[in-house]
Structures are given as C-alpha cells and as structure tokens.
C-alpha cells in the first residue's frame, strides 16, 4: 500500500509536474523519500525557501503548469511566504507543500507549528491541511484545480509528518480542469459592435493571455491575431511586456510605474478600453485613475470577483481571455478609417519614451545603457529575469521585447526574485540564453541560489548592478527628504570575488569603454557574471546628484 506522500507525488507526476524545488525539513521526510525513487519528478535542492519558492514561480511562468515547492514547517514556510505573495500578485499557479507537526500536536503551539489557514489567508487562493492519509488524494487534486482555475494563483497544503508516512487507502483522483470559460454569444456580439464603432480603442492585455504551456492555444499568438484583425492598439498590463511584439506598429506601450503624462493623457482619450484577461490593479490603472469615468470599458476576466470593483464596465464578461478571442474570430472584423491616426499617435508617444541618454558619469555607467546593450545582443529566444530595483526600470520602458523572448519579472515587486528565476529558467530551457539583472541589494538576498546553477551545470548570465545603494528607495528619499540619506547606503563585498567563488567567469564593467567586451561576453555561450560599476548619480533627482 503506498504512503500518503507517495500518492501525492504520483498525482503531481500524472499532471506532468516534472520538477519540484525544496529546502529539506524533517517535517516532510516521507515526501522526500517518495521523491527518492521517482524518475519523473526532478527534485531541485535550493539554499533558501524564498529561492525555492521563486524558482517554482518562475518555472510555472515558463511551463503554464503549477510550480511546486516543498518546505519545512514554521521557519521554512515563513521564508517561502514571499513566493506565495508573488504568485498571487503575478497570477501564477503555485503549489506550496508544507511539512507540518504531527497531527496530535496540531493547534497546540508545538515546536515550529503555524496554523497555515491563518498565516496564508490573505495571500493564498486556497489552504488545506490533511489530518488523515486518505484525505491526501482529494486535497492534492483540489490544490491543483484551485491553483490552475480562473485567475491562477498560489495554494498551500499543510501535511503533518506522520500523516505523510501513513498508508493511503484512498485511490488517486484524476485532476479536474474545467475548459476555459467562453463568453455568452450575446456578449460577443455586443463586444464586436463596440469594437467596430470605436475610433480610439485600446486593447489592454493581461495575465490571461500568458499561456506558455499550450502551443495549440497560445495566448500571445491569439492576442496578435485579434489586434491585427481588428486593428486594435495594444497596451500591456504591469510588467507583461513580453505578451506582444514591442516593435509592432500596434504596440502602444505598457501600463507601469510613472507612465509619461502625454501618454496618460492620450490613453484617457480612448473611446473604448477592452481590458482582456487582467484584474485592473493599481499600477496598471495608474493609481485607479484609468479607465477614467466616462470612458467605455469592456472588462474580461476569468474570475467574476475581479469585475466591477472601481471601474464600472459597460460590458463585464466573466470568461477566459483566449476563449473570448476565439469567439470573436467568428465575427468579421472592421475598423473605422479614423482609427489609423489614433494607432500612429499612440505608437509615436510610446517610441518617444524609449530613448536612453548616452554619456559618461564620474561614478560609473548608467545602467540604462547596459539594458540597451542587452536588447541589442539578446537572442530571439532569450529569457531575461529581473530583480526589483531601479536598475530594472529601463528594461520595462526602454527595450523592445519580441515573443518568444520572455521577461520574467515579479509583478509583486519582490526583491530576491531575479537570480532564482534565472536558475529555474536555465534548468527548464537549457538551450535558451538566460540573462538576469539584479542590484547589489537584491543580489545578497537570494543569489546563493547560483550554487544550484553551479551544481547542475546550468548557465546563467548575471548582470550585477553595484551602485552602493538601495537606489530605488534613495530616489524616493531624495524626493521626500532631500539630502537626508537614511538606511539606503550599502557597504558591499567585492562582488567580482564573490561571483568567482561560485566559479562564474567574471567581467568587470567600470566604464562605457567596457561595453564592447560586455556585448561579446553576453553573446558567447556559457555562464557569466558582469559586475557593473553603476552610477548612482545618473538616477538620483537632479538636486541630489
């Protein structure tokens, strides 16, 4: 008779889950044992639960299947919580399996016990706990369905260590994944009529079109078909630049932090916003200000709980974004001639914001120039992962992303994501170049995970921006309290030596004269750590520089 742990792993393997990330714990020793003999699930041993969780999130972004992380109770779960939050904000399916205290100790504040129902209530889509081994097949099937269904997100399954080791008599359940919900025909007809009439429409594309694991029903291809057929300018929601070719005449830019005023003013003139597969959260809506009152909105989201919050929609459709595009395909597209001028106007406004200033700075190079260099050398199938920090800003606004290139960046803004994401990407896609940009702040949070890449021969190219500062925060500080630097200065190790200790070939980039060598090193196969002496002055407000 298999143990509950073996049943659980069998279920995941049956769904095509072929990799899980862990930091081991005595609280789930039976799960580790179930994986010992398993030839279909690759267990990646990580150096922190935050790193393991971020790797699982990144893996899910690339596969479209749930990322799986295994962590120990209490401290392990606390470390992993950052990935649960990121999966929720990024709409990524994540299954966090937490070893729990023995069932007789539950709710007795035992050693390292946490009640995960309470802990994760605000950030996980669903939280379960098995108190009997026979519940495990049911609970893991439910965890899978909850992570994948509607707007994907994180689930947490608490597994008492003794329950995991017990025999499980209940059979495996097949996974239930409902077909993507199509819109009602009457709504499709109304949507087509609105699209036909609109002179100044904007298609706002979000997470619902990020469907990497399904080539036959690829959200990016569907989005492009829709935009081209109906001549709709496309804007993407926060940090989803890789949904649509940014060099396409219909690409109007992203909705991100601090969109330029002229672009915001133009977006506010749209006579129809088709928000497709997005939750319309604060940054995408420019602080809840767009779509503005009076602008026509069609909001399509797979989960009706996200419809009608702050933005009354003329047409609110609780449906899958791809299914909506497929339904529209039966209607002959049309566009008023006046729309072409609008498309050109949005395009011009976007391009006006893509320029990067070139120039020398006494304290190093402007990282925006490094980002532009990445754009010029990145292969058509490159994967770029970003940590959170001001070094990342040009990657979002100044570069042109072209699918199948991928940009793995945390919508949650979590520092520490970049390096683990790059390691996960290099493991998942060994034949694609993987480049990671990270600041000196984020680097020392989770970059220990480079050891995982090293151990497995996975190739990551690291761009480490060393500006001696938590610069994003320093910028805010200079604006709010000029000249009063508090808590934002960093005393760094010698990053070149640090990277060399991980056996990464190191290149120091101290000035613009080093750019040709950097370009060459980025183009060459194999791992790399480029330690960039980044100018802080280049990003500080003028008064502080």
In the complex, minimum distance from the CB of residue 394 to ligand TPP, in angstroms, rounded to a whole number: 11
Cα–chain-centroid distance for residue 83?
10
**In this complex, which beta carbon is closest to ligand TPP, that of residue 183 or of residue 416?**
416
Shortest CB 250 distance to ligand TPP, Å: 32
Nearest distance, CB of residue 57 and ligand TPP, angstroms? 14
The answer to whether 439 and 387 are in contact (CB under 8 A) is yes
| Min separation Cβ 117 and ligand TPP, Å | 24
Which CB, 344 or 481, lies closer to ligand TPP? 481
Tell me the sheet residues that pair with 42.
19
Burial 45-67 (b: 16+ CB within 10 A, else e): ebbbbbbbbbbbbbbbbbbbbbb
Q: How far is the CB of 370 from ligand TPP (least distance, A)?
A: 11
Minimum gap (Å) between residue 468 Cβ and ligand TPP: 8
- Which residue do the tokens 């980039």 mark? 509
Nearer to ligand TPP by C-beta: 257 or 454?
257
Residue 445: CB minimum distance to ligand TPP, A: 7
φ, ψ (nearest 5 deg) of residue 158: -90, 130
Q: What are phi and psi of 86, to 5 degrees?
A: -65, -40
Q: Is 386 helix (H, G, I), strand (E, B) or coil?
A: strand
R_g (Cα) of the chain, nearest Å: 24
Between 85 and 461, CB nearer to ligand TPP: 85
Contacts of 379 (CB under 8 A, 6+ apart): 432, 433
Separation between Cα atoms, residue 401 and residue 194, nearest integer Å: 30
H/E element holding 21? strand 19-22
Nearest approach, Cβ of 442 to ligand TPP (angstroms)? Answer: 4
**CB of residue 158 vs ligand TPP: minimum separation in angstroms?**
24
Two tokens, residue 68: 């799986």
Give strand pairing partners of 273: 202, 297
Alpha carbon distance 74, 475 (integer Å): 36
Give the binding site for ligand TPP (CB under 6 A).
388-391, 413-416, 439-442, 465, 467, 469-473
Nearer Cβ to ligand TPP (145/473): 473
Q: Which residue, 473 or 500, has its beta carbon nearer to ligand TPP? A: 473
Instruction: Give the C-alpha separation, 25 to 160, whole Å.
Output: 12
Nearer to ligand TPP among residue 57 and residue 164 (C-beta): 57
- Residue whose CB is less far from ligand TPP, 405 or 412: 412
- CB of 20 or CB of 464, closer to ligand TPP: 464
Laid out side by side, the sheet with 94-100 consists of: 42-45, 19-22, 67-71, 94-100, 154-160, 126-129
């Amino acid at each position: 008779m298999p143990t509950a742990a073996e049943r659980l792993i069998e279920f995941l393997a049956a769904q095509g889950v072929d990799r899980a990330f862990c930091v081991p714990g005595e609280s789930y020793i039976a799960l580790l044992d179930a994986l010992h003999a398993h030839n279909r699930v690759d267990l990646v041993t990580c150096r922190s639960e935050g790193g393991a969780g971020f790797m699982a999130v990144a893996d899910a972004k690339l596969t479209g299947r749930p990322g799986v992380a295994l962590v120990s109770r209490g401290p392990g779960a606390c470390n992993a919580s950052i990935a649960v939050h990121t999966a929720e904000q990024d709409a990524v399916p994540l299954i966090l399996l937490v070893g729990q205290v023995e069932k007789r100790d539950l709710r007795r504040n035992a050693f390292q016990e946490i009640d995960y129902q309470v802990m994760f209530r605000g950030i996980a889509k669903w939280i379960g706990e098995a108190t009997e081994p026979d519940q495990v097949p049911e609970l893991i099937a439910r965890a899978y369905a909850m992570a994948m269904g509607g707007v994907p997100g994180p689930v947490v399954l608490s597994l008492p260590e003794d329950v995991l080791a017990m025999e499980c008599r209940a059979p495996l359940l097949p996974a239930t994944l409902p077909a993507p919900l199509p819109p009602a025909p009457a709504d499709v007809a109304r949507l087509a009529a609105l699209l036909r009439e609109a002179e100044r429409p904007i298609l706002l594309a979000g997470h619902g079109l990020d469907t990497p694991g399904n080539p036959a029903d690829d959200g990016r291809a569907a989005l492009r078909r829709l935009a081209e057929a109906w001549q709709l300018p496309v804007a993407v929601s926060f940090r989803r630049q890789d949904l649509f070719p940014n060099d396409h005449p219909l690409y109007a830019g992203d909705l991100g932090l601090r969109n330029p005023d002229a672009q915001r003013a133009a977006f506010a003139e749209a006579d129809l916003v088709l928000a497709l597969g997005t939750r319309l959260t604060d940054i995408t809506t420019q602080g809840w200000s767009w779509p503005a009152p009076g602008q026509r909105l069609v909001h399509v989201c797979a989960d009706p709980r996200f419809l009608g919050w702050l933005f009354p929609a003329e047409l609110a459709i609780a449906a899958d974004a791809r299914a909506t595009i497929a339904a529209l395909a039966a209607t002959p597209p049309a566009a008023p001639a006046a729309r072409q001028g609008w498309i050109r106007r949005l395009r011009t406004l976007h391009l006006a914001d893509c320029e990067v200033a070139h120039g020398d700075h006494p304290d190093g190079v402007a990282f925006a120039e490094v980002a532009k260099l990445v754009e010029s050398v990145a292969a058509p199938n490159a994967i770029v992962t970003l940590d959170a920090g001001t070094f990342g800003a040009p990657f979002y606004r100044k570069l042109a992303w072209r699918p199948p290139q991928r940009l793995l960046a945390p919508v949650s803004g979590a520092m520490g994501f970049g390096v683990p994401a790059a390691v996960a990407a290099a493991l998942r896609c060994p034949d694609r170049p993987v480049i990671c940009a990270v600041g000196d702040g984020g680097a020392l949070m989770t970059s220990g995970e480079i050891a995982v890449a090293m151990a497995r021969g996975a190739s990551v190219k690291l761009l480490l921006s060393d500006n001696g500062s938590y610069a994003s925060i320093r910028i805010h500080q200079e604006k709010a309290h000029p000249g009063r630097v508090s808590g934002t200065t960093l005393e760094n190790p010698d990053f070149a030596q640090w990277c060399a200790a991980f056996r990464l070939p190191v290149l120091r980039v101290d000035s613009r004269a080093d750019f040709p060598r950097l370009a060459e090193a980025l183009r060459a196969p194999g791992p790399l750590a480029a330690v960039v002496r980044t100018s802080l002055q280049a990003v500080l407000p003028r008064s502080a520089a």
